[in-house]
Structure 1
Amino acid sequence: MVINEIVYDPDQIDTCDDSNGEWVEIKNTDSSTPLTMTNWSVKDATTTLRSFSGEVSANGYAILVSNKSCFLQNHPGVSEFLIIDLNTKIGSGLNNSNGTSGFADQIFIFDEAGTQVAMVEYSDEAVEGKSLALFGGSWEEANPTPGAENVFDPGEPGPSPQPGPESAVTFSAPSSVVGGQEFIVTVSFSNFEPGTYALKVLIGKGDNFIYGNTKGSSDWLTQNGKWAEMPSVSIVHSGSVSKSIRAKVDDDASSGNYAITVSVAEKNGDDYEPLWSTGELETIALKVTAAPVGSHASQVVQTGNADGAENQESPALTQNPESFVQGEVLGEESAQKEEFQLNFYVIVGIFGLIVGSGGLVLGFRYRRNNSVAAR
């Protein structure tokens, strides 16, 4: 939707003051879907919000008026179905002349969530009874046409169409990540038309953007994954919106300097059409540290060594590297050593007893033999 026409200095009516005749026209730019405005609000450059609700047909109009009766006195042929009566001033009342800021006033429209969906800043170009009408992206003085297409004075050429602001995508991501480790990329859309847009994270070196993975609706998807399975964002009104998506570098990616970017495709029926080629996308630098061989980065603990490289060890090894043996229970080895030492001393003791007993027997026999010889 857009703000399409403004009357801030209406024709004077005896029974109505100037602010009661002010109005703002809204146009639904969607040619197929009605625009429902429930608990929306409008304000001027002041902080005074005015709430309203209504519906605008596809490619149709609605008119926010300060006072329905005063509006119809100036525009008696307008269908009442198009009128949304605020029954109060628009903000604190629209200014008729420029202030020190260089403009006369501003008009803001917010949806039910408080998100700004439209904004106009105008200067005092229209004389009393005339409107400021939008044509081709620019504003010109015109004869008021509330609820209908804007028309300029006969014999005066209308302004040349001006290109609107270009759609743009910006994003933010960490400057350094570990291979296979999940991280968040926040993507911001500016000046996009209403629609559904799919997002894909691309990570690469040079022209080879083959190392990125994007978390889809159910699983991780490579750069060749289907657009329909990629995360998406739906833009209801023209303007800006942001979305955070999950991404990671390939588990087996080597350490080094990479580039990261985000590709966007617009949904058209059952198909998706990329808005830009890879070469047209803006990139930012991404430093990647390789994950350890045979393990997943999210399952390891990282510790730094003296030369700044990354050592990645299992949690069990970091607790007590000397006592950990694969397949053994911690503490079993020391118990086995103690048992072995005990058995060793028992054997030595028994051997000593045997040797000692043998010595006693030999000594006894020697003494006996000597005694016999003496006789």
Structure 2
Amino acid sequence: MISTKEKNLIVKYLTKQASFTELDELGVWLEQSSNEKEFINYVKINYAIDFNMKKFDSVNSKKQLIELINKEKKVYKLRKVKSFGKYVAIAIIFLSLGYLYQNKYFFNTPSHTIKSENVTLQLENGNIEVINENGSSKVLDAQGNIVGSQDGTELVYNNEVEKETLVYNTLNIPYGKRFKIKLSDGTIVHLNAGTSLKYPVKFIEGKERKVFLKGEAFFNVAKDTKHPFIVNSDELNVQVLGTQFNVSSYPEDTVTDVVLVEGSVNLHLEKNNNLDNDIVLKPGFKGSFNKDEANIDTKRVLTNIYTSWVDGELFFRNITFENILKKMERHYNVTIINKNLSLSQEEFNASFREAPIEKILEYFEITYNIEYTINENNIIIN
């Protein structure tokens, strides 16, 4: 009998969300007794994947699995890695499952997924501190000076500490949570689930105010005409002086959306210094950067659709079922497997305020006749 822990490891492995440590745990478990058979049976029953060993190419599968493990090393940047030979052994255990890769049974999931259950703060020296959302704490720099304070789900940096060079902290928000931060210049940023923001502890006089975003955030930027505020999201820079706007740029999404509520923003590509190619947004407009085609389109939108998450609301307007499931995974910190692929590109409209995920699933079940099962944090849609 497979325990709940092993089931969760299998789901994470099949959806490519398993960390290097979790791959290790699954490998150790598979080495024991008849667990490989249990694994195969579980996959067949729960994912309707049948095993046809005649299709199996052991050489190619082994190569792909070792490449996967090497990729995991790079993604998680482990400081201490156990013997690679052990992971080769684990890869060999997985050989009987290798054809799953060949037949593309695995689902595309984010490599950037923030898996911790806790909000964490990475300091300038690389140390990572867990933030207790029910408590309060002080943020110290390397010299022991207080540079900020945390109270509940809000982090505030002061502008009084003396800094001659840019020193960065990184705030990481896991799935299922949101957070608020006030930067040293007074800029307020709301961070959505599954988001990380890298920012200076204090902005320096004479230098641009630049932060780095992965995920989604709503910015209310403090006006400073001498120091433009820039949000960098991979290839795209969003430059402002003082304004309110939303940026959604999860690594797994093919499009970065910038929605302007107030003021004006200037969009340009990181590698393009030609200002003639910049896009200027007006309030009520959305700029969409297509990562594959490297172009930016604009259109008028209802801004509250894109900013309602700040108040805990999920707002879907002409959004594909596939993207709805992504938003639900982040919002509720769950893993969703969609086996009803005919629905993936269907577009839906709905809105939910602080509703439990069961209510949303019931809505889709009643309105669109979908079927689903819930097993702890794993949801399968049929």
TM category, shorter: under 0.3
In terms of fraction of residues, the more strand-rich structure is 1
TM-score of the pair, normalised by structure 1: 0.23
TM-score of the pair, normalised by structure 2: 0.23
Q: Which has the higher contact order (CA 8 A, sep 6+)?
A: 1
In terms of fraction of residues, the more helix-rich structure is 2
